[in-house]
């Protein structure tokens, strides 16, 4: 039977690696809406805006693209819809898309819209981390002021964006200097400008000035945590314990994630100053996952520099405190393990801290691995927040970043999570360190999984090396296993890695005995040579595939292979041989459609001969 090449798209392969029903359901619903005829589902901008506010920004933008009037037909309406598009992209942090959208605008758009969109462009560049390009664009806009292209308010906004770009890049001295110039030119500031000034003062290590400024502002929204932070750093007003308790209370009730993150930062800093290691752990275990999953303004991110390493350190300090209280001796791993195992579930921070200490300091490697596995289980019990925390703790910094340093059990779990999140680069990097399967997984299935991820991630050399190790055992594989192996070789062909695919197919050919399979392999080898432009060799392999079982065979497989051989011979300029094979096929072919194709091929060869 002819094996069909299945060059599956990456998303289909990922579904095979990890079933994700919820995402598939959302995708099908979205697809259904997108396929509805416009006449059956007329859309207004208000409806699209409601979709975006409801969290379906991707769907809203797709519907905008489908329903937006053409620029050439109705420029006024196109501009109206385009303003909504940019606002949705900005409100939902779709910065790369926004940059690409504006970069594609024609130069013929009205000047007023170009200036307005350029401010969005600069904001998107800043949020994408391209600070220099943002400042270059902002300076170009500012220099146009003499021509009256900008209003006074617009100019102020552009200069605030320059200041913000310095702050978010971490160039605090430049941000401070820009802030002073802004203040000299515009005097006492209000609203957004005053708040930005307070952030610069905090980042510049001037909490007293920041506090004085923030006290002139209504303590709501972002102002409240900034006031608390300035008070904490300035060391005046409410005591440390009161600030810590206040932050803890607000964190428990604050619904807006960016504000909750700020209060968590205040809580962590207060706990750190008080050397309250348990409170610091509680704050960091929530702050680190939150900043990985929620859009936090760069000017606010710069206010704190907590990392995963700070959390590891807090675990160790707290565990040492617990150990001292329990009179545990350093080096008595059995006693520390017993303490961790006997810690009640109502003290999860203590339990995690004890296992973290064992994972770092236990004398025996097996016990360290056991502690890591226990820690992994405890993080998973925390839900999605714990899984994000797991990634940050084990993948950031130098503690486990070195080759072979990542605990095996954690590495297997992180591979699953990377595949679930479609982070194939990370999955490939982790799998390069994991040649052996986890418990309960067959070695061949594990190696196939590794090879598939390497291919999807574009690590073709890794995939090639791994597949090469599987070829010698091909003769002992069952049909299903061989089919899976061959499908991966088809994937190599699908991404135009034909030399690797050819070499692996040839090795597989040498390690199998079944004639039907060998005929197929010769055919696919010929396909790769044809794709490489090696038409003479391709023709030879196609003919070998056709005649392997019988030199005179004209079964359907042989006919297909001979036809492909003739086409390759024609491409190689060997028209006499190609003509001979086409005539052979014409004598045995009964299908009128196929006979017509063969006659056309012969006619083309005759015409080429006459011209040659």
Instruction: Over range 38-53, report the average pLDDT.
Output: 69
Instruction: Over range 529-550, report the average pLDDT.
Output: 93
Instruction: Tell me which of 421 and 172 has the higher pLDDT.
Output: 172
The string of pLDDT tens digits covering residues 352-399 is 999 999 999 999 999 999 999 999 999 999 999 999 999 999 998 778
Which of 270, 313, 306, 303 is closest to 286 using CA atoms? 306
User: Which range (254-258, 590-594, 607-611) has the least confidence?
Assistant: 607-611
CA distances from 567 to 3, 535, 574 (A): 21, 9, 10
Burial of residue 234 (CB within 10 Å: 0-12, 13-18, 19+) is middle
Instruction: Over range 24-30, report the average pLDDT.
Output: 45
pLDDT at 47: 84
The answer to whether the CB of 530 falls within 8 A of the CB of 523 is: no
The percentage of residues in the chain with a pLDDT greater than 70, rounded to a whole number, is 90
Dihedral of the CA atoms 349, 224, 134, 90 (nearest 10)? 80
122-129 own/partner pairs: CB under 8 Å, 24+ apart? 122/158, 122/161, 122/165, 123/90, 123/161, 124/89, 124/90, 124/95, 124/96, 124/98, 124/99, 125/95, 125/99, 126/161, 126/164, 126/165, 126/168, 126/298, 127/93, 127/95, 127/298, 128/95, 128/96, 128/99
From CA 327, how far away is CA 338, in angstroms rounded?
Answer: 13
The string of pLDDT tens digits covering residues 459-475 is 999 989 988 988 888 87
Instruction: Over range 34-49, report the average pLDDT.
Output: 59
- Sorted by sequence, the CB contacts under 8 Å of residue 207 that are 6+ apart come out as 201, 229, 230, 231, 232, 233, 234
What pTM, to 2 d.p., does this model score?
0.75
Burial of residue 531 (CB within 10 Å: 0-12, 13-18, 19+) is middle
**pLDDT at residue 546 is higher than 70:** yes
The string of pLDDT tens digits covering residues 180-218 is 998 888 876 777 888 899 999 999 999 999 999 999 998
> Angle, to 10 degrees, between the axis of helix 515-531 and the axis of helix 535-547?
170
**pLDDT at residue 401 is higher than 70:** no
**pLDDT at residue 6 is higher than 80:** no
User: What pLDDT band is residue 232 in, cutting at 50, 70 and 90?
Assistant: very high
The percentage of residues in the chain with a pLDDT greater than 90, rounded to a whole number, is 49
pLDDT at 149: 60
User: What pLDDT band is residue 400 in, cutting at 50, 70 and 90?
Assistant: confident
**pLDDT at residue 105 is higher than 60:** yes
From CA 302, how far away is CA 587, in angstroms rounded?
Answer: 79
Q: 3-state class of 602 per DSSP? A: helix
């Amino acid at each position: 039977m002819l094996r069909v090449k299945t060059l599956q798209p990456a998303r289909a392969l990922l579904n095979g690696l990890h079933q994700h029903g919820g995402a598939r359901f959302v995708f099908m619903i979205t697809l259904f809406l997108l396929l509805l005829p416009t006449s059956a589902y007329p859309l207004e901008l208000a409806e699209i805006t409601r979709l975006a506010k409801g969290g379906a920004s991707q769907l809203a933008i797709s519907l905008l693209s489908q329903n937006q009037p053409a620029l050439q037909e109705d420029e006024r309406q196109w501009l109206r819809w385009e303003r909504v598009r940019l606002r949705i992209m900005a409100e939902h942090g779709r910065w790369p898309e926004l940059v690409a959208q504006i970069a594609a605008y024609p130069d013929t758009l009205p000047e007023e819209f170009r200036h307005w969109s350029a401010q969005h462009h600069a904001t998107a560049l800043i949020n994408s981390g391209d600070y220099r390009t943002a400042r270059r664009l902002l300076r170009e806009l500012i220099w146009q002021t003499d021509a009256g292209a900008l209003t006074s308010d617009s100019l102020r906004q552009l200069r605030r964006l320059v200041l913000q770009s310095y702050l978010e890049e971490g160039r605090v001295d430049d941000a401070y200097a820009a802030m002073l110039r802004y203040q000299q030119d515009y005097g006492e500031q209000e609203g957004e400008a005053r708040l930005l000034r307070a952030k610069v003062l905090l980042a510049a290590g001037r909490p007293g000035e920041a506090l004085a400024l923030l006290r002139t502002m209504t303590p709501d929204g972002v102002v409240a945590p900034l006031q608390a932070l300035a008070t904490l750093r300035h060391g005046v007003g409410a005591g440390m314990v009161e600030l810590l308790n206040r932050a803890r209370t607000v964190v428990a009730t604050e619904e807006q994630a960016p504000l909750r993150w700020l209060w968590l930062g205040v809580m962590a800093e207060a706990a750190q100053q008080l050397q309250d290691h348990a409170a610091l752990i509680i704050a960091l275990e929530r702050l680190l996952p939150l900043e990985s999953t929620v859009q936090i303004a760069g000017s606010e991110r710069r206010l704190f520099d907590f990392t995963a390493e700070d959390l590891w350190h807090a675990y160790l300090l707290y565990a040492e405190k617990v150990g001292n209280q329990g009179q545990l001796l350093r080096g008595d791993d059995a006693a520390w393990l017993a303490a961790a195992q006997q810690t009640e579930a109502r003290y999860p921070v203590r339990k995690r801290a004890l296992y973290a200490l064992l994972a770092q300091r236990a004398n025996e490697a097996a016990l360290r691995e056991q502690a890591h596995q226990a820690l992994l289980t405890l993080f998973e019990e925390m839900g999605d927040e714990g899984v994000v925390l797991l990634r940050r703790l084990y993948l950031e910094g130098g503690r486990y970043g070195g080759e072979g340093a990542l605990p095996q059990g954690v590495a297997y779990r992180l591979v699953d999570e990377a595949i679930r999140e479609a982070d194939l680069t990370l999955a490939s990097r982790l799998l390069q360190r994991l040649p052996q399967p986890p418990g309960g997984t067959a070695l061949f299935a594990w190696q196939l999984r590794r090879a598939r991820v390497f291919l999807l991630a574009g690590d073709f050399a890794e995939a090639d090396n791994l597949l090469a190790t599987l070829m010698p055992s091909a003769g002992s594989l069952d049909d299903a296993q061989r089919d899976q192996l061959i499908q991966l070789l088809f994937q190599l062909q699908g991404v135009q890695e034909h030399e690797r695919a050819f070499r692996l197919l040839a090795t597989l050919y040498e390690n199998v005995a079944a004639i039907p399979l060998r005929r197929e392999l010769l055919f696919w080898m010929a396909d790769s040579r044809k794709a490489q432009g090696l038409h003479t060799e391709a023709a030879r392999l196609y003919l070998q595939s056709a005649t392997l079982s019988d030199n005179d065979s004209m079964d359907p497989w042989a006919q297909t292979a001979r036809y492909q051989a003739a086409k390759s011979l024609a491409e190689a300029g060997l028209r006499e041989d190609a003509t001979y094979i086409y005539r052979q096929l014409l004598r045995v072919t009964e299908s009128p459609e196929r006979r017509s194709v063969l006659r056309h091929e012969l006619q083309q060869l005759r015409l080429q001969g006459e011209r040659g």
